[in-house]
């Protein structure tokens, strides 16, 4: 179906959509910014409901969208604020489990269509895991359409009770850089000097310091690399609850690893690296994997979730939790420049097949039109 039903003869749309973010991880926030930009350009009125700090980071208002501050889910006023923001919406589109659950509560008693995008699988253990499964069932049964960013997320939504679950086209938005960007080689040299990686291989991992990221396995693997000459430096960019125990291990065992906290220059960090590492227990459309392939940085990742579907044969894939397999893959790549170059070429071909931002917006707008074509617009 061509996405034209909500447009007036003059090319303007009377359709008003509300995009809902929770805390907003990097992938979902970048996607919403890209989506808002494309929808506004097509005449759709867009309101982004997200915490103020998300708008400061991703500049939703810079796309021409309206931003409404909605506190994080821990704030008791968040549902009321969201309900008020959605009052005149023709369609609400929520991103992530917590944002989607709040949208379900905010739309209670209304007939407003709800689209939900699952960007990732909620990670938890024990009683919290049971609670998250309950929230997932509540959300997918209330949603008009569930969009999953990977095939396994679509299947999970169907198993959980979704009446309509589809694979979403989700583009990796291009990096937003200033016009006076420095020469990439000079930036790379500066970063390597800053990190202490001059004259030695730099291996980059990026992501929150949570258990499912697999950083314990990564630290185990670094023991093997201490016998290499020169010894590679592993740098992990991110923050989280495991920072203290990880730092303690690094110091107690004398591991060649640096924790550098949350950074906003990930593209530059990757460009300075020999390899990118993704040892997670589960990922969907990993931002790191996409940025690494786009930057032509060879990637070693775990064969989990949506990673194989995303990267194809353009990365070295290893089992999750297997420190020796991870160590061997990295050691082999560092010793084989031809293999690294082959992965760069395969990465370029793989990224060419990923959906563009225009294709992503067109798919989403076609879903919106399908759900609102029989609804009267003001």
For residue 221, the enclosing domain spans 184-352
Q: Are residues 339 and 363 in the same domain?
A: no
CATH of the domain at 90: 3.40.50.2000
Nearest to 95 by CA among 75, 79, 78, 115: 115
Q: Are residues 135 and 275 in the same domain?
A: no
Whether residue 230 is preceded by a cis peptide bond, meaning omega within 30 degrees of 0, is yes
* pTM for the model: 0.84
Q: Are residues 200 and 249 in the same domain?
A: yes
More confident residue, 186 or 278: 278
User: Can you give the pLDDT at residue 41?
Assistant: 96
Q: Are residues 191 and 54 in the same domain?
A: no
Q: Are residues 40 and 166 in the same domain?
A: yes
177: in domain: no
150: in domain: yes
Residue 5 reports pLDDT greater than 70: no
Q: Are residues 142 and 244 in the same domain?
A: no
178: in domain: no
Q: How many domains does the chain have?
A: 2
Residue 376 reports pLDDT greater than 50: no
User: Can you give the pLDDT at residue 3?
Assistant: 44
256: in domain: yes
In the chain, the percentage of residues whose pLDDT exceeds 90 is 78
155: in domain: yes
CA distance 323 to 302: 11
User: Can you give the pLDDT at residue 202?
Assistant: 98
Q: Are residues 224 and 152 in the same domain?
A: no
140: in domain: yes
166: in domain: yes
Half-sphere exposure of 171 (CA within 13 A, CB side): 21
Give the confidence band of 277 by pLDDT, cuts at 50, 70, 90. very high
Give the confidence band of 175 by pLDDT, cuts at 50, 70, 90. low
Rounded to an integer, the average pLDDT of 295-301 is 97
Residue 6 reports pLDDT greater than 60: no
Q: Are residues 194 and 327 in the same domain?
A: yes
CA distance 366 to 218: 42
User: Can you give the pLDDT at residue 122?
Assistant: 72
pLDDT, tens only, 176-209? 444 445 677 888 899 999 999 999 999 999 999 9
Q: Are residues 224 and 255 in the same domain?
A: yes
User: Can you give the pLDDT at residue 362?
Assistant: 96
Residue 223 reports pLDDT greater than 50: yes
Give the confidence band of 347 by pLDDT, cuts at 50, 70, 90. very high
CA distance 378 to 367: 20
Q: Are residues 161 and 190 in the same domain?
A: no
Q: Are residues 126 and 266 in the same domain?
A: no
Mean per-residue pLDDT of the chain: 90
9: in domain: no
Q: Are residues 193 and 57 in the same domain?
A: no
CA distance 323 to 165: 36
CA distance 280 to 321: 8
User: Can you give the pLDDT at residue 276?
Assistant: 98
């Amino acid at each position: 179906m061509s996405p034209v039903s909500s447009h007036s003869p003059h090319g303007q749309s009377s359709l008003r959509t509300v995009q809902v973010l929770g805390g907003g991880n990097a992938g979902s926030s970048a996607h919403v910014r890209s989506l808002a930009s494309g929808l506004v350009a097509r005449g759709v009125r867009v309101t982004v409901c997200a915490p103020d700090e998300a708008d400061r980071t991703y500049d939703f208002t810079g796309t021409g969208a309206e931003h409404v501050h909605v506190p994080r889910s821990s704030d008791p006023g968040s549902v009321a604020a969201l309900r008020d923001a959605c009052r005149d919406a023709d369609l609400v589109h929520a991103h992530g489990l917590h944002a989607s659950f709040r949208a379900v509560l905010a739309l209670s008693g209304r007939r407003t269509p709800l689209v939900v995008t699952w960007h990732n699988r909620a990670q938890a253990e024990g009683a919290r895991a049971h609670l998250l499964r309950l929230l997932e069932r509540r959300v997918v049964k209330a949603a008009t359409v569930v969009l999953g960013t990977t095939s396994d997320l679509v299947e999970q939504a169907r198993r959980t009770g979704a009446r309509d679950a589809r694979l979403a086209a989700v583009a990796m938005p291009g990096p937003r850089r200033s016009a006076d960007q420095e020469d990439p080689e000079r930036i790379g040299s500066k970063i390597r000097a800053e990190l202490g990686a001059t004259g030695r291989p730099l291996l980059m991992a990026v992501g929150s310091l949570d258990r499912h990221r697999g950083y314990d396995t990564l630290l185990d693997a670094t023991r093997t690399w201490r016998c290499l000459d020169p010894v590679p430096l592993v740098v992990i960019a991110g923050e989280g609850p495991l920072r203290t125990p990880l730092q303690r291990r690094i110091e107690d065992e004398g591991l060649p690893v640096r924790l550098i906290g949350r950074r906003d220059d990930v593209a530059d960090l990757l460009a300075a690296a020999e390899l990118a590492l993704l040892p997670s227990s589960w990922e969907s459309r990993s931002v790191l994997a996409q940025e690494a392939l786009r930057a032509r940085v060879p990637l070693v990742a775990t064969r989990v979730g949506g990673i194989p579907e995303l990267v194809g044969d353009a990365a070295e894939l290893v089992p999750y939790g297997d420190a020796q397999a991870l160590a061997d893959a990295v050691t082999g790549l560092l010793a084989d420049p031809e293999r690294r170059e082959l992965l760069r070429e395969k990465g370029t071909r793989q990224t060419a097949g990923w959906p563009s931002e225009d294709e992503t917006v067109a798919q989403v707008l076609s879903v919106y039109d399908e759900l609102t074509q029989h609804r009267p617009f003001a």
